[in-house]
Amino acid sequence: MPELPEVEIVVRGLRQTVVGETIERVHLNNTPPASIVVSDSFKGGGFARALAGRKILDVTRRGKNILISLSGDVTLWAHLKMTGHFFYRDKSLPIDKHDLVIFDFRSGRKSKDGLNLRFNDYRRFGRLRLFPNDELWEQDGLKALGPEPLNLSADGFVILCTGKIRMIKPALLDQTFIAGLGNIYTDETLYLSRLHPRRLVSSVSRRKLVELHGHIQDILKFAIHKMGTSVDSFSSVNGQAGQFQKYLKAYGNEGKPCERCNAKIIREKIGSRSAHFCPRCQRI
């Protein structure tokens, strides 16, 4: 699943390509009913009809969520889930069977003529939701999100962790605790901090929490700089793959030697998720 850096790359790509465009029409291409959610406020007008004629004003991110602000105080809220993508492509290219939603824009901006935006998702877990702005932040999946890790101070992170009697990896994966982290970046930051993923948050010293906070911010910023991590299918809106996978030290490195001590990186299931770590450097 794309995490904060990958979603941020998509958001930046959308800002550069579609902000200022007006949606002329929306095509649904055998889109699963579960992929689209439309507020009852639109009174049965449907997804495509409710979007037609709206101008794209801005694109922002909250955690792993993409928020496309539209004219008329409406937001198109997207979650890429496992394999969702937004691709900005030439209209002349054939529609792929996984291009579930196609957004055509009004002509008029010469540099943008002949291009459209496609929501592509081969596993079909991604979601597009349309809500008036006054309803948006009351929706499950947004209203309970924890703080943004790049906006959180070291002191704020320590306060967030104080008294939390739960394992540290599941805590960092919990989007209501802190928003945007997933398996890749939790494994990497815990490795750099020499923290075992089963370590209880409440047992970690303030000094170590400050160190972890620093690694979280540094890793996320560096991953954004490297256009995200492409270990499965992630790419930007222009199809460019990420580069951060070249720098992974723990995630996906099961059986490979630890860079610090040469012990083999292991993979364990913790809760419902896997964790990659060094059993020697990250002792519990």
Rg of the chain (C-alpha set): 20
Q: Are residues 112 and 175 in the same domain?
A: no
Same domain, yes or no: 35 and 121? yes
Q: Are 253 and 132 members of one domain?
A: no
For 257-269, write each residue's pLDDT tens digit. Answer: 999 999 999 999 9
Residue type (1 letter), 177: F
Instruction: Examine the domain organization and report whether 98 and 158 are in the same domain.
Output: no
Last residue of a domain, one of 75, 107, 136: 136
DSSP run (H or E) holding 74: strand 74-79
Same domain? For 108 and 169 the reply is no
Active site residues: 2-3, 64, 273
Name which of 112, 122, 9, 94 is nearest 59 in CA terms: 9
Do residues 28 and 114 both lie within one domain?
A: yes
Establish if 142 belongs to a structural domain. Answer: no
**Does 284 fall in a domain?**
no
For residue 140, CA distances in Å to 8, 42, 176 come to 21, 19, 11
Which residues span the domain enclosing 244? 154-277
**pLDDT tens readout for residues 70-79:** 999 999 999 9
Q: Do 46 and 119 belong to one domain? A: yes
Convert the pLDDT of each residue in 152-174 to its tens digit: 999 999 999 999 999 999 999 99
The two tokens of residue 267 are 């993979």
193-245 pLDDT per residue, tens: 999 999 999 999 999 999 999 999 999 999 999 999 988 778 899 999 999 99
Percent of the chain predicted with pLDDT > 70: 98
pLDDT digits (tens, 9 = 90+) for 88-125: 999 999 999 999 999 999 976 544 569 999 999 999 99
Residue 116 inside a domain? The answer is yes
pLDDT per residue as tens digits for the range 2-48: 999 999 999 999 999 999 999 999 999 999 999 999 999 998 779 99
Say if residue 53's pLDDT is above 90: yes
Q: Are 119 and 100 in contact (CB under 8 A)?
A: yes
In this structure, the answer to whether residues 125 and 203 fall within a common structural domain is no
Cut 0.85: pTM above it: yes
Q: Token pair for residue 219? A: 């890793």
In total, how many domains does the chain have? Answer: 2
- From the list 60, 88, 55, 87, the residue with the least C-alpha distance to 74 is 55
Residue 148, domain member (yes or no): no
What span, in angstroms and rounded, lies between the C-alpha atoms of 239 and 230?
11
Are 56 and 27 in the same domain? yes
CATH of the domain at 211: 1.10.8.50
Residue 125 lies in a domain: yes
- Give long-range contacts, CB 8 A cutoff, 24+ apart: 43-47: 47/128, 47/130
Residue with tokens 């990250």: 282
116 and 208 part of one domain:
no
Confirm whether 147 is domain-assigned.
no
